Amino acid sequence: MQWKFTAGGLLLALLAATVPAQAQQAAGWQSCAAIGSDKERLACFDAWAGRQAPPPAAAASASTPAATTATVAIAPGNRDEEQGCHDPQASELSRFWELERTTSCGTFGIRSYRPISLSVIASDSVNHQPTSGNPANNATADAPYRTTETRIQLSVRSKLGEGMLSGPGPLQDSLWFGYTQQSYWQLFTGDLSRPFRVTDHEPEVFYVYPFAQPLAGGWALRYGGVGIVHQSNGQSLPLSRSWNRVYLMAGAEHAGGLSLQGRLWKRMSEDPATDDNPEISDYVGRGELLATWTTGGGQLLSFTWRTTLKRMDRGSARLQWMIPVKSPFTGSHFGSLQWHTQLFTGYGDSLLDYNRRRTVLSLGLSLFDW
């Protein structure tokens, strides 16, 4: 019995000294199996098992979570790249304008711009016979439109380029193309075959440069930019309306969910003989200020004020309240779908109404920041 144990031990020692490590693992258990005594064979197997290293796959698997956690802890700004501009950790303006590399969704994708909406509106008046400061643009017939109609707005944008002037830091500039279309549809005027009363088209190109400049009172300047925009209704005389503008813009936000965004524009000059809408800047305005507040529950309150910078009785004011649509059964949101209520008063609700004051109440559904 003693001789068999000693022979087994010598055999294992010889193998350990003469066979490479990988061969030892392959042959060691076979040597133990050759031992006749159950007790000594079991002791041999125990000794062999104790010398084995953990499987590489298991070791890697065990170390992976710790390595991942360490990476996240070291780089707290490293967000899920798949969320991109939809990342809820980012501030509203940073996410919407993709001001940081961690909020970028890349180029040539389709983003939301202004709300995509469908609403029913009621107004205090409707323009039966549009007029203009240019006699060639005065309608010659009266159209019996209703003051209750439907409004449809489509608005998208796409990033054309990024990181052009901002350098290698965390902030990133961008170049965009945007398009907005707004239509008033006389859905309830069956005797006129429910026409589209007016449709305005607004393509624009704009450049956004990011900032992270602290301001007083907990505010921070987040971006500045410049753009050029064309707006027209695509109609022939006498209902044709159009103008072109260049503008400067900037945005600031507060940690409490508040943001302020402003634009100042200059109309590009046109030949007075062919100007569809003379003095439109003295009615619609030369600048606007947009104030928004996002509540903890995802509701959005916004107020837009347009001013001519000359007369307080011109321009316009728009107040809007958006509430996320929720399932009555689960309470979960239906994506980015929202109920909206909007009140507008002033000039320029459409290009045909550029020189006509109008008050409009609208109720409907919107897709915003999808």
The residue whose two tokens read 């979570």 is 65
Q: Per-residue pLDDT tens for 30-71?
A: 666 667 666 666 667 676 666 665 544 444 344 433 333 332
The single-letter DSSP state of residue 193 is T
**pTM for this one?**
0.76
Q: Per-residue pLDDT tens for 80-104?
A: 444 556 677 788 899 999 999 989 9
Q: What is the CATH number of domain 90-367?
A: 2.40.230.10
* pLDDT-derived band at 78, boundaries 50, 70, 90: very low
CB atoms within 10 A of CB 172: 23
Cα 9 from Cα 124, distance rounded (Å): 104
CA dihedral of residues 37, 39, 44, 45 (deg, nearest 10): 110
User: What's the pLDDT score for residue 57?
Assistant: 43
Mean pLDDT (the chain) is 83
Q: Are 41 and 51 in contact (CB under 8 A)?
A: no
205 forms bridges with which residues in the sheet? Answer: 177, 228
The residue with greater pLDDT, 18 or 83, is 83
Q: Are 159 and 98 in contact (CB under 8 A)?
A: yes
> Among 229-243, 283-297, 320-334, where is mean pLDDT lowest?
320-334
In the predicted model, what is the mean pLDDT of residues 97-117? 93
The residue whose two tokens read 């020189």 is 355
In the predicted model, what is the mean pLDDT of residues 120-131? 95
In the predicted model, what is the mean pLDDT of residues 230-248? 96
* pLDDT-derived band at 74, boundaries 50, 70, 90: very low
Q: Per-residue pLDDT tens for 341-360?
A: 999 999 999 999 999 999 99
C-alpha neighbours within 13 Å on the C-beta side of residue 320: 24
The single-letter DSSP state of residue 124 is S
* pLDDT-derived band at 277, boundaries 50, 70, 90: very high
100 forms bridges with which residues in the sheet? Answer: 171
In the predicted model, what is the mean pLDDT of residues 157-178? 94
The residue with greater pLDDT, 21 or 347, is 347
Instruction: Say yes or no to pLDDT of 26 above 90.
Output: no
151 forms bridges with which residues in the sheet? Answer: 119, 184
Q: Known catalytic residues? A: 230, 232
DSSP symbols for 228-251: EEEEE--PPTTS--EEEEEEEEEE
Under 8 Å CB-to-CB from 273, ≥6 apart: which residues? none
Cα 225 from Cα 207, distance rounded (Å): 5
In the predicted model, what is the mean pLDDT of residues 204-218? 95
Instruction: Indicate where the chain has its CATH 2.40.230.10 domain(s).
Output: 90-367
User: What's the pLDDT score for residue 64?
Assistant: 38
The residue with greater pLDDT, 29 or 166, is 166
250 forms bridges with which residues in the sheet? Answer: 224, 262
Q: Are 117 and 352 in contact (CB under 8 A)?
A: no
